[in-house]
Amino acid sequence: MKKIALFPGTFDNLHEGHIHIINKALKIFDKVYLVIAKNELKNSDLEKNFKNAKKIIKKLNIKNVKVLKTDNDIPTLFEELGCTHIVRGIRNSKDYEYESILMKKYKSKNNKIEEVFFFANDQYIDVASSNRKLFAFDVDGTIVNDKKELLESTKIAIAKILENNNEVILCTGRHYTNVLKLAEELKVKNYLITSGGSALFDIKLNNLSVSKKFLSKKDIDIAINLAKKYKRELIWNNGEKIYRVYFGKDPISEIKEEKYFFGGSHINPKYDNWNEVKSEVYNNVIQITFKAESKTIEKEFKKIHKIISNDCICYHASNFYIDFFDKSIGKYNAIKDLAKKLNIKENNIYVFGDSGNDTEMIERFENGIAMGNAAKHIKKKAKYIIGCNNTDSIYNFLIKKGFINE
């Protein structure tokens, strides 16, 4: 006789702790039904959780698991599926007490039910608990130094945060393809917030979710005209694809600021031909950037707010960039939405940044951390100010706050 397990729950964000229990169950049972149920008290989205669970199980290629959704009571479904046991995960004594009461309720409706409790390994105990924290790091000027390199101390710090079952995300104005290598180096395996908050990349599922808030022709034209006026760079993307055009002759000979070529542009830039790609510049653009020398950017940024549309916002992203976005887009909203998805409370969110597009998240989250190299107006918004991105400031801060040990 086959042993068939029913693993029910809301699974509002199927996470590593759940996968851990499923893998334990598969060592004993021939088949596991992962059943997504609705819980009105949690205000869970049955359809969303069902689709998410199916994606994850398929992506991880877990055999002998079937994902179902149900509005029926669990004891009835147990009978209909021909199950032999119900399995549940236990993290602590509170979980045991709750699950014991739940099983008594199930058995009162179906006395054939047998239960199996699997105790979570230590590394999964806090996965869904209120102790779990989210650490969001801007990239340029924050988690990498001025040479666009990771400090060894930062790598160690991030590894220790992850060991403690916290969530670490990179939150950047860069396109997601320009962050994947960095995420791999840091062993960040879940999410990237990219394109200034307008795109979320799920690393495990290799899935990109892009904002549907597109820039207007008026605001796109402002960026184009600036790039043409100064014969400098125009960069834009629709979330999935990024385009880069240089309107001058040769940036290497024309641009004298050495730092211009750090991150984004490089010593041997590859640009698209404007005549070949200009038809794409109005096609669902979520971010467009004008890049030029620091004096030009500073001068034009002071004027820009007088001419952009009411639905547009501009960030002085660094010394060399002006980024254009829809007003509803930003790192703050993207982090907030992701934290909700991960069941992480806002007071457990820690954000690190240094530039214009970090201002809102540093100001609005309770735990906003400004780098020592951040602009003065950003530091004024921060709860904490730490050292610059060329020092061990991130490591030292995390030690000081007790998030990691030396």
Q: Are residues 34 and 90 in the same domain?
A: yes
Q: What tokens were used for 398?
A: 């995390």
Domain edge (last residue) among 73, 93, 124: 124
pLDDT at 258: 82
Q: Could you tell me what percentage of the chain is helix, strand and coil, using 3-state DSSP and rounding each to the nearest 5?
A: 40, 25, 40
Domain that holds residue 256: 217-326
Residue 247 is assigned to a structural domain of this protein: yes
Gap between the Cα atoms of 161 and 398, Å rounded: 9
Q: Do 185 and 150 contact (CB within 8 A), yes or no?
A: yes
Q: Are residues 94 and 192 in the same domain?
A: no
pLDDT at 367: 97
Q: Are residues 197 and 245 in the same domain?
A: no
Q: Are residues 8 and 83 in the same domain?
A: yes
The domain spanning residue 79 has which CATH number?
Answer: 3.40.50.620
Residue 170 is assigned to a structural domain of this protein: yes
pLDDT at 279: 93
Residue 129 is assigned to a structural domain of this protein: no
Q: Are residues 319 and 230 in the same domain?
A: yes
Residue 63 is assigned to a structural domain of this protein: yes
Gap between the Cα atoms of 136 and 183, Å rounded: 12
Q: Are residues 19 and 34 in the same domain?
A: yes
Q: How many domains does the chain have?
A: 3
Domain edge (last residue) among 83, 101, 124: 124
Stretch (H or E) spanning 338: helix 331-341
- Paired residues of 168 in beta bridges: 135
Residue 75 is assigned to a structural domain of this protein: yes
Q: Do 33 and 83 contact (CB within 8 A), yes or no?
A: yes
pLDDT at 40: 53
Question: Which residues, 6 or more positions from 139, have their beta carbon under 8 angstroms from its beta carbon?
Answer: 170, 171, 172, 174, 179, 182
Dihedral angle over CA of 201, 202, 206, 207, nearest 10 = -70
Which position has the token pair 């501009």? 314
Under DSSP, the state recorded for 140 is B
Q: Are residues 144 and 12 in the same domain?
A: no
What phi and psi values does residue 295 have, to the nearest 5 degrees?
A: -65, -40
| Residue 130, burial from CB neighbour count under 10 angstroms (0-12, 13-18, 19+) | exposed
The domain spanning residue 222 has which CATH number?
Answer: 3.30.1240.10
pLDDT at 124: 61
* Number of residues assigned to the chain: 406
* E-state strands within 255-318: 287-291, 312-318
Q: Are residues 112 and 148 in the same domain?
A: no
Gap between the Cα atoms of 272 and 139, Å rounded: 25
Q: Are residues 11 and 59 in the same domain?
A: yes
Residue 150 is assigned to a structural domain of this protein: yes
Residue 406 is assigned to a structural domain of this protein: no
Q: Are residues 234 and 191 in the same domain?
A: no
Q: Are residues 321 and 336 in the same domain?
A: no
Report helix, strand or coil for 84. Answer: coil
pLDDT at 115: 94
pLDDT at 260: 84
Under DSSP, the state recorded for 91 is -
Under DSSP, the state recorded for 214 is P
Q: Are residues 105 and 168 in the same domain?
A: no
Gap between the Cα atoms of 307 and 305, Å rounded: 6
Domain edge (last residue) among 75, 105, 124: 124
Gap between the Cα atoms of 196 and 242, Å rounded: 14
The domain spanning residue 145 has which CATH number?
Answer: 3.40.50.1000
Residue 405 is assigned to a structural domain of this protein: no
pLDDT tens for the 406 residues of the chain, in order: 899 999 999 887 788 889 999 999 999 999 999 999 876 545 567 888 899 899 999 989 999 999 999 987 899 999 999 999 999 998 878 788 888 988 999 999 999 999 999 988 766 655 554 578 999 999 999 999 988 899 999 999 999 998 877 899 999 988 899 899 999 999 998 999 998 898 999 998 888 898 888 999 999 999 999 999 999 999 999 888 889 999 999 888 899 888 888 655 455 668 999 999 999 999 999 999 999 999 999 999 999 989 999 999 898 877 899 999 998 888 999 999 999 888 888 999 999 999 888 999 999 999 999 999 998 989 999 999 999 999 999 999 999 998 888 7
Q: Do 250 and 238 contact (CB within 8 A), yes or no?
A: no
